[in-house]
Amino acid sequence: MSSKVTMTWVKDMLFDANVNGHHLLMDADPEWGGQDQGPRPKPLLLAALSGCTGMDVVSMLEKMHVADYSFSMDLEAEPTTEHPIIYHTITVKYLFQGNDLPQDKIIKAVKLSSERYCGVSAMLQKSSNLVFKVFINDLEVM
C-alpha cells in the first residue's frame, strides 16, 4: 500500500501536511520566520520511529500474552554540526512498568521490532546510529 502526503504552504514557514487524510501542521521557530504553530520536520522522524516500533512491540507482546503493563518511550537525537544537519545518533528508550513483567519476552519484542519489522528503523539505520535500550521498572535490562 502506498502512502500519499500533500503538503500545502499556509504562510510564512507554516505548512499543512495531509497524510493519508490526516492533517499535521509543521512550522519553524520564530528566529527562522515561523510562529511555532507545529513541530519541526526532523523531530517528526523521531515520532514516526517511536510510533512504528511502539506499535510493533505492543502487537508482539499481545501475541506473547503479556498484559497489565504501562509502556512509554523516550527518544533523543544528536545532530551533526555541518550541513546537511542530520541525526548521527538516535537513542530509543523503551520504558515498561508493571509487576512480574517477563524480561525475556519484552527484550525479544524490542529486538524483533528494531532488527526486523520496523520499516522506519530500517530506513533511519542507513543514515544514523540507532541505540535501543529497555527499562523495566526503571532498571535497564538491555
Q: What is the CATH number of the domain that holds 76?
A: 3.30.300.20
If asked whether residues 53 and 8 sit together in one domain, one would say no
If asked whether residues 61 and 115 sit together in one domain, one would say yes
If asked whether residues 33 and 57 sit together in one domain, one would say no
pLDDT for 43-96, tens place per residue? 999 999 999 999 999 999 999 999 999 999 999 999 999 999 999 999 999 999
Taking CA atoms, 55 is separated from 14, 86, 88, 113, in Å, by 29, 25, 24, 9
If asked whether residues 33 and 48 sit together in one domain, one would say no
Q: What are phi and psi of 44, to 5 degrees?
A: -65, -25
Cell of 82: 555541518
118-125: average pLDDT:
97
Cell of 129: 546510529
37-44: average pLDDT:
96
If asked whether residues 76 and 121 sit together in one domain, one would say yes
The pLDDT > 70 percentage for the chain reads 100
* Domain range enclosing 102: 41-140
CB-based burial, 13-29: b 16+ in 10 Å, e otherwise: bbbebeeeeeeeebbbe
Q: Residue 1 — pLDDT band, cuts 50, 70, 90?
A: confident
If asked whether residues 70 and 135 sit together in one domain, one would say yes
